[in-house]
Chain A
Amino acid sequence: MSESLSYIFINACLVNNFVLAYFLGICPFIGVSGNIGTASRMGGAVTFVMLVSSMCAYGIHTLLVAIDAPFLQLISYIVVIASTVQLVEMIIKKFSPALFRALGIFLPLITTNCAILGLALFQTSKGYNFLESLVYALGAGAGFTIALVIMAGIREDLDIADTPKVVRGTAIVLMVAGLLSLTFMGFAGLGG
């Protein structure tokens, strides 16, 4: 691979932001972006799960290539992600019960966050090595957190704004997301 590590990071974080360019992880993006505090904690948890599952996915991919069974890829990835989330849940519960209570239901729901499975699949199809995969996961996690926090900030203001009754709820959130997505297109060509 000729791509430098910093390029991979910026690419995953800003240019091809997972939420706003690839539409991955839209469910938590709409569901958890109510206030900035929860949004940033959720971003942190997702980034951690991304890092761990990206490492595991790299190992599994090497193993599956060795035993020549690529059709098992999807099934083994999803099992790894589910167990990683379970592990993270246990670790957080043990070391920081306060954070565990704050995250609540969102923690197990990370399993069905498509950004994480998407990350594992993309790094495989792009053929990144171990270090590149880690940086890619870190960038994707940072990008997810940025998008979530910006959205939460806008929504906090939107709550006190006087919007027409029909657009309240998901419709206006989607419109705002569209504008954000356009803004992020301005990063195209950065870091090349």
Chain B
Amino acid sequence: MNEPNKTFDATTFVKGLWKENPVFVQVLGMCPTLAVTNSATNGLAMGLATAFVLVMSSMLVSMLRNFIPKQVRIATFILIIATFVTVAEYLIQAISIDIHKALGAFISLIVVNCIILGRAEAFASKNTVGKSIIDAAGMGAGFTFALLCLGVVREILGSGTLFGLQVLGQGFEPWVLMILPGGGFFTLGAWLLLFNYMKERKAAKMQEVVA
């Protein structure tokens, strides 16, 4: 954050990162979350691309919020998002052909990521440009964080590496399952379990304090 003294802006940012984390709490945007997180690098790249589209489209939607007729707003949002996704796709292709190949069609599929349309509809179309950008940045950061969590676990267990570097010793037998589709479901399920458990323990503690 550039201005830590503005507490309100800070909470808008942090809520996307933790309390309203789009993946772990709202369970949105499952498809890219599961599909590309077979390595930490892919997860990070996907998270950053999504965050970029999220911030840019939230900004534009918020700027145009008084000009878009209510009846066609969803169609307009989708068009704005699709434009930025195209930009992101060509950017990634320019930066790294390898990542572009690894992510494949899933870059284009950012268009139908419910997080982006959800934020445009629920936040950006009702708030000022500044607030919308901070909200989008928070959500984007939360999404990237979640993708990284999944990617790191799956890469370490599935191939014994992290960001392509060997971390577990030679004797380690990789669990091939973890980089296969099934492993994606298991890992996300396990993370959700952990979050549920933490939430319940917190709730139980609160009750103890009250009693």
Smallest CB separation, A150 vs chain B (Å) = 14
> Hey, which chain A residues are within 8 Å of B32, CB to CB?
23
A23, A24, A111, A179 pick with most chain B CB within 10 angstroms: A23
Complex alpha-carbon distance, A122 and B108, angstroms: 11
Complex alpha-carbon distance, A32 and B157, angstroms: 32
> Hey, which chain A residues are within 8 Å of B99, CB to CB?
none
Q: With contacts A26-B31, A165-B200 known, is A178 near B182, CB below 8 A?
A: yes
Contact A174 B188 (CB under 8 A): yes
Smallest CB separation, B143 vs chain A (Å) = 15
Smallest CB separation, A84 vs chain B (Å) = 13
Of the residues B27, B90, B183, contact of A71 by C-beta under 8 Å:
B90
Of the residues A30, A74, A166, contact of B108 by C-beta under 8 Å:
A74
Contact A26 B86 (CB under 8 A): no
Q: Is B91 an interface residue (CB 8 A)?
A: no
> Hey, which chain B residues are within 8 Å of A75, CB to CB?
79, 82-83, 86
Q: Is A42 an interface residue (CB 8 A)?
A: no
Contact B193 A167 (CB under 8 A): yes
> Hey, which chain A residues are within 8 Å of B108, CB to CB?
74, 117, 121
The count of residues in chain A whose C-beta lies closer than 8 Å to any C-beta of chain B is: 39
Contact A112 B112 (CB under 8 A): yes
Contact A122 B182 (CB under 8 A): no
One digit per residue, 1 when the CB lies within 8 angstroms of any chain A CB and 0 when it does not, for chain B 104-115 equals 010011011110
Q: Which residues in chain B, 29-43, are within 8 Å of chain A measured between CB atoms?
A: 30-32, 34-35
Contact B112 A179 (CB under 8 A): no
> Hey, which chain A residues are within 8 Å of B34, CB to CB?
23, 26
Interface of A is mostly: helix
Contact A114 B182 (CB under 8 A): no
Complex alpha-carbon distance, A36 and B79, angstroms: 35
Chain B interface category by residue count: 35 or more
> Hey, which chain B residues are within 8 Å of A102, CB to CB?
none
Give B113's nearest chain A residue, CB to CB. Answer: A114
Contact A20 B181 (CB under 8 A): yes
Interface of B is mostly: helix
Contact A181 B181 (CB under 8 A): yes
Of the residues A78, A111, A177, contact of B185 by C-beta under 8 Å:
A177
Q: Which residues in chain B, 166-183, are within 8 Å of chain A measured between CB atoms?
A: 177, 180-183
Contact A74 B85 (CB under 8 A): yes
Of the residues B78, B82, B105, B185, contact of A175 by C-beta under 8 Å:
B185
Q: Is B184 an interface residue (CB 8 A)?
A: yes
Known: A125-B105, A167-B196, A170-B27. 16 other contacts (CB 8 A): A21-B181, A22-B35, A23-B31, A23-B181, A26-B30, A26-B34, A27-B28, A30-B27, A71-B86, A74-B89, A112-B114, A114-B112, A121-B105, A170-B189, A174-B186, A175-B189
Q: List 30 A-B contacts (CB under 8 A).
A: A20-B181, A22-B35, A22-B181, A23-B34, A24-B31, A74-B86, A74-B108, A74-B111, A78-B82, A78-B111, A78-B112, A79-B78, A82-B75, A112-B114, A112-B117, A114-B31, A117-B109, A117-B111, A118-B109, A167-B193, A167-B196, A169-B196, A170-B27, A174-B189, A175-B185, A175-B186, A175-B189, A181-B180, A181-B181, A182-B177
Seen from chain A, the residues whose Cβ lies within 8 Å of a Cβ on chain B are 20-27, 30, 71, 74-75, 78-79, 82, 111-114, 117-118, 121-122, 125, 165-167, 169-172, 174-175, 177-179, 181-182, 185
